[in-house]
Amino acid sequence: MTGTNGKTTTTTWIAACLEALAARDGTGPIAQATTLGFALGGRALDVPRSFDGFLAGMRAAADAGGRYAAVELTSEALAHGFARAWPFAVGVFTNLTHDHLDAHRTPEHYLASKAQLFLALREGGTAVLNASDPTSELLRDVLSPHVRVLSYAVPGSRGPAHGEPDVVATSVDVSWSGTRVSCRAKDAAFPTELYVRAVGDVFAENALAALLGAVALGAAPEAAARALAAAAPPPGRFEIVHERPHVVVDYAHTPDALARTLATARRLATAGNGRDGRLTVVFGAGGDRDRQKRRAMGEAARLADRVVLTADNPRSEDPRVIADAIASGLVGHGAVVFALDRREAIRRAVLDAAPQDVVLVAGRGHEKEQDVRGMAVPLSDVDVVRAALGVSPAEPT
């Protein structure tokens, strides 16, 4: 599956749904390849994060009798011909927003790279498309006439739905405990309600995409829905690390993802007594990467009451230069703080928060190391939050 945002979550949930299919058919474990690494039957495999590592993981899956794999595909892998070397039976598309123009130079090349997954689908395969994303109409145009299309939509999420989607969300209810989606489907066998443990409107899209992807491979809709309800979201995807104040760690590192994550946090930033809490965001942007998105990241952060600009993975760049570029999108905000030491930035934001407040630490999510001038420096945002609040990893929050 591919897209700009939501790839890891959707792939993880497709794998969870396929586990139910494998259990029904008595086949081997599900292979899963995402940003987080390679897993087999839900257990991480110690293989390199490279094409050779992918081959080793797939070989292990085949040796274990596995028949299905859920694979997250980046635009760069697709641009290098991955889908032509490994044609897929089902291709799933989440969305297309601003990202990776350092590698692709133009939005057109970025789109063309994503489209390779769908151009190379096997004859008789299925394309699962987000009907609320205008890009889906372009992807339809390149599909072989021998490929079936299934589509989903969350109206209002990215715009009006195109055509007549197979599954449409009629309402999305988000709380600190998860996301509940009421939906209408062409197929009466589809459930009318889905629940996922992830928090945020965007996860409604991911859930519908995962459900259709699994069903396209033969999973029963109700069984897939039960698997979705039981599946945990991947680490670092609106991960609630603490309550009162609520501190959330999220991988959002594009303008679209940051805006959507902040919108969710804003709606939830209300104390039990109805008094609005303050929303603080701590984030930066990756060095030696798409510089064009930095101002837009700042514009997205305007949703927060307080913005703390810090280092992300600065690589060879000066973190202050990156922060200044982000700040150009925050002119006039009135509550922007520079704290380039990420540990200190997180610590200060968390300790300054009142019990009803929400602190969002964005950009790195699950990552355990920070890339600074070619050195991998140990740094986990989750661990920094826990240390600041005096919470051990084993202690409930």
Q: What is the pLDDT of residues 266-315, one digit of tens each?
A: 999 975 545 679 999 999 999 999 899 999 999 999 999 999 999 999 99
The per-residue pLDDT for range 376-394, each reduced to its tens digit, is 999 999 999 999 999 876 5
Q: Are 285 and 293 in contact (CB under 8 A)?
A: yes
- Write the pLDDT tens digit of every residue in 178-205: 999 999 999 999 999 999 999 999 999 9
CATH superfamily of 239-389: Mur ligase, C-terminal domain (3.90.190.20)
> Residue 76 — very low, low, confident or very high, per pLDDT cuts 50/70/90?
confident
pLDDT of residue 4: 87
pLDDT value at residue 97 = 83
Query: Of 304, 318, 212, which Cα lies nearest the Cα of 252?
Result: 304
Tell me if 123 sits within 8 A of 146, measured CB to CB: yes
pLDDT of residue 158: 83
pLDDT at position 116 over 70: yes
Burial string for 16-43 (b: 16+ CB within 10 Å, else e) reads bbbbbbbeeeeebbbbbbbbbbbbbbee
pLDDT in tens, 120-172: 999 999 999 999 999 999 999 999 999 999 999 998 888 888 899 999 999 99
What token pair was written down for 139?
Answer: 């992807």
The proportion of the chain whose per-residue pLDDT surpasses 70, expressed as a percent, equals 95
Which distant-in-sequence residues (6+ apart) come within 8 Å of 86 by Cβ?
Answer: 71
- Round the CA-based radius of gyration of the chain to a whole number and report it: 21
- How far apart, in whole angstroms, are the C-alpha atoms of residue 119 and residue 107? 18
Rounded Cα–Cα distance for residues 388 and 380 (Å): 12
Q: In the chain, where are the structural domains located? A: 7-163+201-230, 239-389
Average pLDDT, the chain: 93
For 105, other C-beta atoms within 10 Å of its C-beta total: 10
pLDDT digits (tens, 9 = 90+) for 315-344: 999 999 999 999 999 999 999 999 999 999
- Which DSSP letter does residue 270 get? B
Spatial distance between the Cα atoms of 179 and 194, rounded to a whole number of angstroms? 8
pLDDT of residue 396: 41
Average pLDDT rounded to a whole number, residues 93-117: 79
pLDDT value of position 391: 84
Q: What is the pLDDT of residue 101?
A: 57
Out of 2.130.10.10, 3.40.1360.10, 3.40.50.300, 3.40.1190.10, select the CATH number for domain 7-163+201-230.
3.40.1190.10
**397: confidence class by pLDDT, cuts 50, 70, 90:** very low
Tokens coding 394: 């084993």
Instruction: Round to the nearest angstrom and report the end-to-end CA distance of the chain.
Output: 34
pLDDT above 90 covers what percent of the chain?
Answer: 86
